Structure 1
Amino acid sequence: MFSKKLYLLLVLQALVMLAKAQQRPQYTQYVFNNYLLNPAVSGIENYTDVKLGYRSQWTGLEGAPVTSYFSINAPIGTNFVQGDASAFPSSGGEYPQSRLYTQEYRASEPHHGIGFNVVSDKTGPITQTNLNATYAYHLGITSKLNLALGVAAGFSHLNINTALITLENANDPTINNLQASQWKPDLGVGIWAYSGNYYVGVSAQQILPQNLYITTGNSANQSKTVPHFFFTGGYKFYVSDDISLMPSALIKFIEPVPATFDVNLKMSFRDRFWLGGSYRKDDSFAVLAGFNLSSFINVGYSYDITTSALRTVSNGTHEIVLGILLNNRYKLTSPQHGW
């Protein structure tokens, strides 16, 4: 009986979040894939970047959020793909953005980036799937600084499995009048400034306002999508020839809830493996680790320790990300701009 009440409470919380608060999934390892938050990151690396991610939030709690995603993005532009502004040979030789390349970093040649991502987020009976194609244009605004402008466009599909919802009144019009499956257009934009050892980004998701759960009666309110704004930045510096540190932060603005933020610190050893920690305001602490297994594959894992009221019923949050580096002509073992 207790578990059923807790499940219903979680369902109601999910409905409230969709109506008035955060309507997109959150990630602990967004630093590993900023492309999910900002379309301007499309084509930032000199290879085709593929990511597969899975996040199980508040494990142990029935109906808790589960998020999975697939993303791919790649650069377009001969000057960039065949080398970069550092004028290294198009094949062979050392990649101009290898370790410690920040000492002689030069902005990349102007180029385009394209990509695609699909994100599925399920909470109780509610499943939201977002499919977006992305485009970005990268140009050098100084000899050491690039600016990228990006756009994401696609569709959002929202589905409510009403069979999983049991109410005291089986004829409650709030449930019976719901349009359980909906497709809506989706649009996002972003700006990304980056150099050899830092980045700053601003993006907006879900900027087209849409009604959700349209009803045929007057007894239930319509909920609406709200824009999500993200401000993020990071800085990389070397402690030694082998060890680098990167502090970073993310601030989220989602009306009408108060602004929230994440702060992170990641330590990398020779770009082969990394460890990190993260804090999300009023929500969790997290530990992160990753291994760059080869020039073809890398993997990251994080575990969130819940600090909110849900800590009494949650076993924490697990998130794993698998990265695949296709067309990796310089045999990099680590992202150079994603860090």
Structure 2
Amino acid sequence: MKIYAYIIALGSLFGTCFAQQDYQLTHYMFDNLSFNPGYAGMNNNICGTMITREQWTGFSGNPSTKLLNVHSPIEMLRGGLGFSYINDQLGFESNNIARLSYSYHMGLGAGKLGIGLSAGILQKSFNATWITPEQGSSYVHGDDNSIPLDNASGISPDINLGVFYKTEELYLGISTTHLGGFSMNSLNVQNVHHYWITAGYKYIVNPDFTLRPNLLIKSDAASTIMDLNVNVLYRNMAWGGLTYRIGDEIAPMVGYQHSFSDGSTLRIGYAYGITTSVIGDYSSGSHDIMLNYCFSLAKPPTLEKSKNPRFL
């Protein structure tokens, strides 16, 4: 426990820190909007997604992320609009992000390209009740100016750019978050510019099984995280798969989806992360839960009934 507490304390110190800030999720293939505004409205339905992640459970102050996305195509705007809210907590640090996204859509080859921009605010706060070093340390609270004596918070603009390309079989996204690296002078903190790459492919093995490999690369130019995922969809209803976050985590995942007669779709997924780094010796794993619902405002065509005069 003391080792973990020490790791969290070091990772959370915010002086003039430029450590990787953006959250990580196992269900990233269901959550492109929160890091790529080019995805807004790309699936031609009104969609809402909620994801919650508890990382390294069993410890006080463990990383915890909650996310909400809503987006829709808007024909009169020749694209789509979206809204994202993210709450990300680690130790005594808390981040709240709210963004509005717009994506301009155009046909390209066999698919559709979305070019997007999102803008919003990022609110960061620090709780002065932080984890101190072990007893016997010579440190006295207040000696380090980078550690708050009282609760502190700050707000900055948050701007993101992204492009997203999608066909019936594949998708590819490239985006950047926290564009401009705005500073929060009241906290002596600068937001870190991140780069995201996502890709996936759908291969129909036979009428019952569909193979879906996915890739995520996230970098702040100082460190890079890569997720490799493969899952198998059975009869367009249930799926199972595995995500490997290189050097950090292996996460089996399962899910279920149901298509309703009105054309709407409900998906629910769960992933359990097994930590492969040294933290795994002190953690009981990570839990990632996803809920997604999509529907269309357009009513499905109804069959017209005709009468045969012979049977009148």
So what's the TM-score if we normalise by structure 2? 0.86
Tell me if the contact between 2:33 and 2:82 (Cα under 8 Å) persists in the aligned partners: no
Provide the rounded CA distance (Å) in 2 between the counterparts of 1:303 and 1:209.
33
Q: Deviations over 1:41-76 (max 9, x none)?
A: 100122210011110001112211000011100001
Aligned pair 1:252/2:223, yes or no? no
- 2:47 aligns with 49
- 1:108-127 equivalent positions in 2, closer than 5 A: 111-127=78-94
Q: Which amino acid aligns with 1:113?
A: G
Cα deviation 1:155-188 (Å, max 9, x = unaligned): 0000001134557423333324788110000000
Q: Which runs of 5+ in 1 are unaligned?
A: 79-109, 216-221, 332-339
SS in 2 for 1:231: strand
Structure having the larger proportion of residues in strand = 2
Q: Which residue of 2 aligns with 1:265?
A: 230
CA distance in 2, matches of 1:329, 1:313: 51
Deviation of 1:266 after TM superposition, in Å, equals: 1.4
Q: Which amino acid aligns with 1:206?
A: H
Q: 2:140 aligns to what?
A: 169
**In terms of mean alpha carbon deviation, does 285-294 or 186-195 score higher?**
285-294
8 Å Cα contact 1:46/1:328 also seen in 2: no
Cα deviation, 1:118-137, whole Å, max 9, x if unaligned, reads: 00001111100111000001
One-letter amino acid of the structure 1 residue matched with residue 242 of structure 2: G
Q: Choose which of 83, 108, 114 in structure 2 pairs with 1:141.
A: 108
Given the alignment of the two structures, is residue 300 of structure 1 paired with residue 269 of structure 2, yes or no? yes
Distance 1:191 1:176, change over 3 A: closer
Render the CA deviation track for 1:230-278: whole Å, top value 9, x for unaligned: 1121111110012111112112221222x33111111111221111111
Partner residue of 1:86?
none
> Which of 174, 177, 180 is matched with 1:208 structurally?
180
User: What is the CA–CA distance in structure 2 between the aligned matches of 1:119 and 1:46, rounded to whole Å?
Assistant: 23
Structure 1 CA distance, aligned partners of 2:167 and 2:93?
40
Runs of 4+ in 1 over 6 A off after TM superposition: none
Task: Give the superposition deviation at 1:37.
Answer: 2.2
Q: 1:230 aligns with which of 196, 207, 210?
A: 196
TM-score by length of 1: 0.79
Name the CA distance, whole Å, in 1 between partners of 2:255 and 2:298.
Answer: 22
What is the aligned residue count?
A: 290
Identity of aligned residues (%): 30
Contact 2:68 2:84 in 1 (8 A): yes
**Structure 2 counterpart of 1:67, which letter?**
T
Supply the distance in 1 between the matched residues of 2:31 and 2:146 (Cα, whole angstroms).
Answer: 38
1:327 correspondence with 2:304? no
Give the distance between the partners of 1:265 and 1:127, measured in 2 at CA. Answer: 32
Maintained 8 Å contact 1:180/1:213: no
State the superposition RMSD in angstroms.
Answer: 2.3
Q: Report if the CA contact (8 A) 2:199-2:214 is conserved.
A: yes
Partners of 2:82 and 2:270 in 1: CA distance:
24
Letter in 2 for 1:42: A
Rounded to whole Å, the distance in 1 between the matches of 2:90 and 2:140 is 22
Q: Which range moves more in the overlay, 265-274 or 116-125?
A: 265-274
1:262-312 CA-to-partner distances (Å, cap 9, x unmatched) read 111111112211111111111111111111134352211111110011010
Distance 1:266 1:330 in 2: 32
Provide the C-alpha distance between the structure 2 equivalents of 1:17 and 1:193, rounded to a whole number of angstroms.
39
Q: Is the Cα contact below 8 Å between 1:145 and 1:194 reproduced in 2? A: yes
SS in structure 2 at match of 1:10: helix
Distance 2:60 2:105 in 1: 44
The letter of the residue matching 2:47 is: D
Amino acid at match of 1:205: T
**Larger fraction in helix:** 1
CA distance in 1 between partners of 2:15 and 2:146 (Å): 17
Do structure 1's residue 19 and structure 2's residue 17 form an aligned pair? yes
Assess, with a 3 A threshold, how the Cα gap between structure 1 residues 254 and 271 changes in structure 2: closer, same or farther. Answer: same
1:191 aligns with 2:163: yes
State the structure with more CA Rg. 2
Greater shift after overlay, 54-63 or 17-26? 17-26
Output the CA distance in 1 between the equivalents of 2:97 and 2:273.
Answer: 24
Structure 2 CA distance for aligned equivalents of residues 114 and 10 of structure 1 = 37
Question: 2:250 matched to 1:285?
Answer: yes
Letter of the 1:31 partner, please give it.
Answer: M
| CA pair 176-240 structure 1, distance change in 2 beyond 3 A | closer
Structure 2 portions without partners, runs of 5+: 134-138, 301-312
Specify the code of the residue in structure 2 equivalent to 1:130.
Answer: I
Structure 1's 130 and 74: CA in aligned 2 closer, same or farther, altered over 3 A? Answer: same
Aligned to 2:286: 317
> How far off its partner does 1:314 sit?
0.8
- Cα offset for 1:212? 4.2
Map of 1:99 onto structure 2:
none
Alpha carbons 1:40, 1:136 under 8 Å: kept? yes
